[in-house]
A and B are shown apart, each in its own frame.
Chain A
Amino acid sequence: MSSLEFKNVTKRFKNVTAIDRINFRIEHGEFVVMLGPTGAGKTTTLKVAAGIYHPEEGEVYLDDHPVTHVHPALRDVAFVFQNYILYPNMTVEENLAFPLKSRLRNIDEEKIDETVKRVAKLLHIEHLLHRTTERLSGGEQQRVALGRALVRKPRIFLMDEPLSNLDAKLREEMRTELKRIHREIGETFFFVTHDYVEAFSMADRIIILNHGKIEQIGTPDEIYTNPSSLFVANFVSSPPLNYFTIKKESGVFVVDEEGCESLTCNIKADTLQDGKRYIFSFRPENLASSLKKSDDTLFDVPAEVYVVEDLGTYSVITFKVNGLLLRQKHLGPPSAKIGEKLWLKLDGNFFIFDETGKKRVRE
């Protein structure tokens, strides 16, 4: 069990800055998830932590000791790669025992056997110990790959999207499983993914990475209720966040988007400055609709139902208002039909950002 800290770490590849002066600290026993889109620099961050890449700038600390120039083998970290490699002609048992059999470690047979059994039990694969790995389903193979990391007692577990090759249902099961394993063994986990549900359901804290820069660090709750940028708010919204540019003109908010000429927007945000542009946003679960116009309707024109998705637990209705597409999410079967005209209303929170979306503006 260890802490991991990055201080001002930059890693470049020729002219690409993969991670750009990043700072974070992961405490002993914490489960931290780094969340970001493709190309954000997640894998690069993990590889710098493992010592596979050397940063151009900054320092990496394990347990408060600088390790920036320490060889990967001497850092004692376990890395679960996205594309796991199992030895196909070996049984599950042999695969699990393999990392322990290194001559460097010199562990006796009995001890190895005990560890393999313990980890197999933890992962619910005891019944598969004598099967060769090519005869396992995808999810079972994934657990063996995880097991190979867990048999060791590393200082920290680094996991690079270990669930993304699995089918949706298995991924869901493995999420719960990983969280359970983390609780049971209490080690430090650093996990990267581009799936926000994965991050929310497992993480003690989330680090949001975009274009090599950290956008926000916080608990799932903090990230959800208090996103610091438009990027963060949108990234943790499913379906995608509703947002558009507004401009205050003599106290009235007009929508400043293509195809929305003279569309006004009825919101209460007195502190915003006249003549300036802002980005107005709200989550799909905070949009409501009704047949009648009322004082608090968002626009002075009705919205047309454009797409209706019945997702079982929820439904998502996409509305079209002039050139804007806005989404509403509600529990149960869809409450509207394609082509219907309804009045939109806000029901709950909204967020306002500056024109670039980089900074939250207090309403």
Chain B
Amino acid sequence: MAQIRLENLWKIFKTKTEEVQAVRGINLTMPSGQLTVFLGPSGCGKTTTMRMIAGLEKPTSGKIYIDNEDVSNLKARERDIAFVFQSYALYPHMTVYQNVAFPLKAQKTPKDEIVKRVKWALELLGIWQYKDLYPSHLDSGTQQKVAIARAIVRRPKAFLLDEPLSNLDAKVREYTRAELRRLHIDLKVTTVYVTHDQVEAMSLADEIVIMKDGVIQQTGKPREVYENPANLFVANFIGSPGMNLFKARKEKDTIILGNLKIPVSHLRRYKEILPGYKESELILGIRPEYLKISSSNANGWKVEIEFIEPLGDEKIVDFSNGTLKGRLRTYRSTQVQEGEEVSIHIDIEKIRLFDEKSGCELLTMHDNEEVKA
């Protein structure tokens, strides 16, 4: 178990025609025993960061510490880190047992110790019964578990997993996800996990690191980044669908959203800082589940239902109010039709406000300015 610390980490790839800044100045501490998920869109630098931690890629600048030891110049195999990638490279001519025993044999571990540890790893992942089978006889979920067993059997200081589930069928992925979470709770090994699937990230992470264009956008517990996104990018990226983001105005002590007026005094999160906020244009964010259709609410927000997307026990309803377009989440049983005019109730407590120019959430921006001042 080990703490991993990244200090002003940069990676610039130089090709003949261009210079790609894949990772741009990352600072991050991952405490011992924590599972940290790197989440972000394709190309944001997740894999590059991971490869630098593993020692497979040399940082352009910056340092990597494991337990306060600078490992930036150590080779991959000197770092005592195990990794699992998207495509599980198992040895096809070896059985499950032999595959998992392989790293221990390579380390010249005593024989009885190998037997003990392989059994431990296979039982932990619930795949002991497959020990004598060859990889080609296993389904993809089980193959990936073998790859994970092979990584944990050495009991390394840390695990790095790069999209280990993304080649699996949607269903298999769901089963395996919860098992990985449980595995982490049982083992408590420092883990870095990369994915672009936010549900996977929410499910597995002790802490989520959200990246975009090589820069960290926000770091926090899953619930924190969900409820209190630091900026518009995170607000939209987390959640499926993401947070509704409406253009709104501030006039004196009211926030105006279409025909709706919300007194600033009702917004507990913001009432201290809003009076000092100089801009009149801002972005009002609200998650789709914090909007409710109410037929009786006379002073609600009047909208027209445009489109209904069924999702099993729930449905996503697209609505519009003049130029504003939004989505809400409701139960399957809610009676509502396309073309209908309804009134929407907004859960005021859940409103989040963002600065239009910088995209920053107002309270986050305010707190950052306090720190600087």
Interface contact B174-A238, CB-CB below 8 Å: yes
CB contacts (< 8 Å) of A306 on chain B: these are 182
A168-B198, A235-B171, A238-B174 are known contacts. Are A285 and B313 too (CB-CB below 8 A)?
Answer: yes
Most interface-central of A38, A168, A200, A331 (chain B CB within 10 A): A168
Q: Please tell me if the beta carbons of B312 and A238 are within 8 angstroms of each other in the complex.
A: yes
Identify which of A138, A169, A172, A309 contacts B181 (C-beta below 8 A). Answer: A309
User: How many B residues, CB 8 Å from partner?
Assistant: 41
Chain A residues within an 8 Å CB radius of B185: 307, 338
Closest CB-CB distance, A337 to chain B, in whole Å?
12
Residues B239 and A167 in contact, CB atoms below 8 Å apart: no
Chain A stretch 293-351: residues in CB contact (< 8 A) with chain B: 306-307, 309-313, 316, 318, 327, 331, 333, 338
* Residue of B197, B238, B240, B289 most packed against chain A (CB within 10 A): B240
Whether a CB of chain B sits under 8 angstroms from the CB of A236 is: yes
| A236 lies within 8 A of B222 (CB) | no
Chain B residues positioned under 8 Å from A224 (CB to CB): 310, 312-313, 332
* Least CB separation from B312: chain A residue: A224
Residues of A within 8 A of B312 (CB): 196, 200, 220, 224, 236-238
A201 near B311: Cβ-Cβ < 8 Å: yes
Closest beta carbon of chain B to A304's beta carbon, Å? 12
| Cβ-based interface call for B329 (8 A) | yes
Is A197 positioned at the interface, with any CB of B under 8 Å from its CB? yes
B199 with A311: CB separation less than 8 A: yes
A residues 161-191 touching B (CB-CB < 8 Å): 166-170, 172, 176, 179
The reply to whether the CB of B373 lies closer than 8 angstroms to some CB of chain A is no
**Residues in A whose Cβ lies below 8 Å from that of B42:** 137-138, 166-167, 170
Contact A316 B329, beta carbon cutoff 8 Å:
no
Say yes or no: B170 contacts A201, CB within 8 Å.
no
Inter-subunit contact B310/A220 (CB<8 Å):
yes
Q: How far is the CB of B136 from chain A (nearest CB, A)?
A: 14
Q: Do A200 and B311 form a contact, CB below 8 Å, given A310-B222, A313-B239? A: yes
Contacts A138-B42, A331-B289, A333-B223 hold; do A313 and B174 have CB atoms under 8 A apart?
A: no
Q: A306-B182, A333-B223 are in contact. Are A38 and B169 (CB under 8 A)?
A: yes
Beyond A137-B42, A310-B202, is A221–B310 a contact (Cβ under 8 Å)?
yes
Which 8 A/B pairs are nearest by Cβ-Cβ distance? A312-B226, A167-B196, A309-B203, A167-B42, A311-B202, A168-B197, A201-B309, A307-B178
- Offer 15 A-B interface pairs, CB within 8 angstroms, sorted by A: A167-B41, A169-B242, A176-B309, A179-B309, A200-B310, A200-B312, A201-B316, A239-B174, A240-B171, A240-B175, A309-B202, A312-B202, A313-B240, A313-B289, A318-B178
Known contacts A307-B178, A310-B203, A311-B202; 5 further A-B pairs (Cβ under 8 A): A137-B42, A201-B311, A311-B203, A312-B226, A338-B185
Q: Which residues of A contact B (CB under 8 A)?
A: 37-38, 137-138, 166-170, 172, 176, 179, 194-197, 200-201, 220-221, 224, 234-240, 283, 285, 306-307, 309-313, 316, 318, 327, 331, 333, 338
